[in-house]
Structure 1
Amino acid sequence: MRTAYRHHGGNFDIVISCDNSIPHLLIDEDILSTLKQMYSCLRPGDGCLITIRNYDREQRTDKNIVKPYGKAKIENDKRYVALQVWDFDETNFHHYDFTLYIIEEDLKSKNIVIHAMRSLYYAISSDKLIKLMNDAGFINVNRLDECFYQPVFIGIRPFT
């Protein structure tokens, strides 16, 4: 994302960044730089579409926040259950350590293996993302709700 224009050039109808990829960028400057790259990839009059978690609804004052992740799945005699644990940084509550636990249960032997994958996220607010999109040059920036399971943000590269 940070080098989208350098790698892909311009003339695109739409640039898409979905499923919470933007919050992997941990500071406003990196997000703004990425949005400028996305802007540069577009033809005038065309658009950018971004989806992120609805961080405006999240309680950011705690650690050990447990969230479900999908449904249990059975495949090849194994059951898989996933859950997330969020640990917010107590200094500013804008960042959180994310751990995705995958519990793998062998239904025949009853053995259980737990896999843990970790990342750090920026719980960027809608207002902040909209401001950064505007700062990158996009116009008509809007947040759309209830059309996807995450808020959708759209912006247009102006003709001039």
Structure 2
Amino acid sequence: MSSVQDFYDALAADYHLIFPDWDASMARQAEALGGVVRARLGAGPHRVLDCSCGIGTQAIGLAGVGHRVVGSDLSPAAVARAAAEAETRDLGLPVTVADMRALPYRASTFDVVVCADNSLPHLLTTDDVRTALVGMGRVLRDDGLLVLSVRDYDEIRAARPTSTPPQVSTTAQGRVITFQLWHWYDDGERYDLEHFQLVPDGDGWEVRVRRTTYWALTRGQLSDAVSDAGFAEVGWHDPGDGGFYQPVLTARRVQRDRESRKI
């Protein structure tokens, strides 16, 4: 199985093909996530770190509605594309290549940390998840907002699907078909994923396959991990509530003087 960085480096040039209309998806996601932030912190603009920014799907959208966004990601190819895509839209998006377990920012820098698109479940151990969440808390100001989105793994773990339905997008060269195959571990929690894209190639198809691994964290597991990492007011927001396409967890960074009194 390839590393997470290899997976996203290989996918960076084609990631937008997952969406029928990437710009429309960016706008919808910014509206949904922006609404979550606005309801808890006010209108802003706010200082936002997208610590799994990829090619910029959430970061560009949030910058486009006025927030001061910084992007970081493990994949050099992805962050390079995010910066280039932001520039073509006349948006400023400073980006950094960084592992979410070792964020290179000063403490209390951001009002909001976003980790969306099922990124956190790439971390496969309790220690790695805790390290990442503690680091996100470190760079948040007191009472700052954590925003995570993951797949609905409570339902998924009960069903243990082995594939996803195909998604079709249209390009100048023709239609691109994207789907996934899932290979579950015996523990029932982790799975290897094969990400297939069928791209038009003359009279036939070019098949592009990338592979990675996920930990299917339930809401209870993730809520407990977030609380243990120093957050309070942990809550979940279903797609029907806020309009984001995945369940969203929000939590507030515990004030540091309150945290010190617990030690």
1:7-156 equivalence runs, <5 A: 7-11=104-108, 12-59=110-157, 65-70=162-167, 72-90=168-186, 92-106=187-201, 109-145=202-238, 146=240, 147=242, 148-156=244-252
Deviations 1:114-135 (A, max 9, x none): 1101100000111000000000
Structure 2: how far apart are the matches of 1:66 and 1:81?
14
Quick one: percent identity of the two aligned structures? 28
How many residues are paired up? 153
Which residue identity does 2:178 align to in structure 1? Answer: A
For residue 8 of structure 1, give the secondary structure of its aligned residue in structure 2.
Answer: coil
Deviates more, 1:15-24 or 1:139-148: 139-148
Equivalent residue, structure 1, for 2:10: none
Whichever structure has more strand as a proportion of its residues is 1
Q: Structure 2 length as normaliser, TM-score?
A: 0.55
Structure 1: how far apart are the matches of 2:193 and 2:158?
13
Which residue identity does 2:232 align to in structure 1? Answer: I
For residue 66 of structure 1, give the secondary structure of its aligned residue in structure 2.
Answer: coil
Structure 1 residue 59: Cα displacement:
4.1
Structure 1: how far apart are the matches of 2:160 and 2:200?
30
Q: Structure 1 length as normaliser, TM-score?
A: 0.89
Instruction: Work out which of the residue numbers 101, 105, 130 in structure 2 matches 1:2.
Output: 101
Structure 1 residue 10: Cα displacement:
2.1
Structure 1 residue 140: Cα displacement:
0.7
Alignment root-mean-square deviation, CA:
1.6
The alpha-carbon distance between structure 1 residues 95 and 142, as it changes in their structure 2 partners (threshold 3 A), is: same
Deviations 1:18-53 (A, max 9, x none): 001100101111001110000111111111110001
Deviations 1:80-139 (A, max 9, x none): 10101111002x011100011001123xx4221111011000001110000000000101
The alpha-carbon distance between structure 1 residues 48 and 87, as it changes in their structure 2 partners (threshold 3 A), is: same
User: Which segments of 5 or more consecutive residues in structure 1 lack a partner in the other structure?
Assistant: none
For residue 129 of structure 1, give the secondary structure of its aligned residue in structure 2.
Answer: helix
